[in-house]
Every structure is written in C-alpha cells, then in structure tokens.
Structure 1
Amino acid sequence: MTPETVITLARSAIETTLMLSLPLLAVSLIVGVVLSVFQAATQIQETTLTFVPKLIAMFITLIIAFPWLMDTMLAFTRELITTIPQYIK
C-alpha cells in the first residue's frame, strides 16, 4: 500500500463523514440560532430551552435523512470492500 493510497482512503473517509454529519449539524445550528434570538428577545435564560428543541429537531432530521445516510454509508463500505484486492497488491 502506497502513501498515496492511504491518503486517498483517509480523504474519502473524512469526506464521507462530513457529508453524513452535515444535515444534523445544519439543523442543530439553525435551531440554535432561532432559539438564541428568541431567548435574547424574551430574556429567558433557561438551558433546557435550547437543549430539548435541538434534540427533537436532530431526532426528526435523523429519521427523515436515515435512508440517504444508510445508502451513502453502504456505498462507501461497498466501494472499500470491493477495492481491497487492489490495495493488497
């Protein structure tokens, strides 16, 4: 296995990880900003006010995006497994 191959595999793994985490992180960011604006407007400083809605929004996003997440993970795993003989050489 050459260093270029290792770098390519690592880059592909990092890209896949970032792509899979993007929907959840984006929803968390949007909900957090909306709730921060709400807290600033009402001056309510309750920590559970931000935690619980973020958790619920991320859970809903996970349910909606799960088929795409699984397809992406399976495609990456399938590609990795099918190219093992090339890496051994």
Structure 2
Amino acid sequence: MTQTYVIHLAREALLLVLALAGPAMAVALLIGLVISILQATTQIQDQMLNLVPKIVGVFVVLLVLGAWMLNSAVSFTLNLFGQIPDLVR
C-alpha cells in the first residue's frame, strides 16, 4: 500500500462525508438564515424559534435522501472491503 493509495482513499472518504452531510447542512443553513432574517426584522429573539424548524428541516432531508445516503455509504464500504485481498499481497 503506497502513500498515494492511502491519500486517494482518504480523499474519497472525505468526499463521501461531504456528499452525505452536505444536503442536511445546507438545509439547516438556509432555514437558519431565513429565521434569523425574520427575527431581525420582527425583533423576536426566541432561541426555540430558530431550533425547531432546523430540526424539522434536517429530519425531512434525512427522510427524503436517507436511502441514497445509506446506499452510498454501503457501496463505499463494500468497495473498500473488496480491495482488502489486493492490498494484502
């Protein structure tokens, strides 16, 4: 196993983490931005007003994209485990 191969595996793992966490994080960011703008314009400073919509938004994203996320993680893991015999030689 060379350094190049290890760097390639680490790069692929990081890209997978970004692809899996990206949609939920983007939705939480957009909801937080919208709620913050509404709070700034109406001068309502309630922390629960910001937290609950984010939780609901992330939950919806996980419901919608959960199967794709699981398939991506499983295929990456199976591919990694499938390469073990080639690495041992």
Q: TM-score range by the shorter chain?
A: over 0.9
Give how far 1:10 is off. 0.7
Deviant stretches of 4+, over 4 Å: none
Give how far 1:41 is off. 1.1
Count of matched residue positions in the alignment of Structure 1 and Structure 2: 89
What is the 5 A alignment of 1:1-89? 1-89=1-89
Give how far 1:78 is off. 1.2
Q: What is the CA deviation profile of residues 45-65 of structure 1, one whole-angstrom value per residue up to 9, with x for unaligned ones?
A: 111110111011111111111
- Provide the aligned C-alpha RMSD in A: 0.9
Higher RCO structure, 1 or 2 (CA under 8 Å, sep 6+): 1
Give how far 1:75 is off. 1.1
Give how far 1:13 is off. 0.6
Separation (CA, whole Å) in 2 of partners of 1:9 and 1:88? 16
Aligned-pair identity (%): 39
Unaligned stretches of 5+ residues in structure 1: none
Separation (CA, whole Å) in 2 of partners of 1:4 and 1:64? 36
Query: Structure 2 counterpart of 1:30, which letter?
Result: L
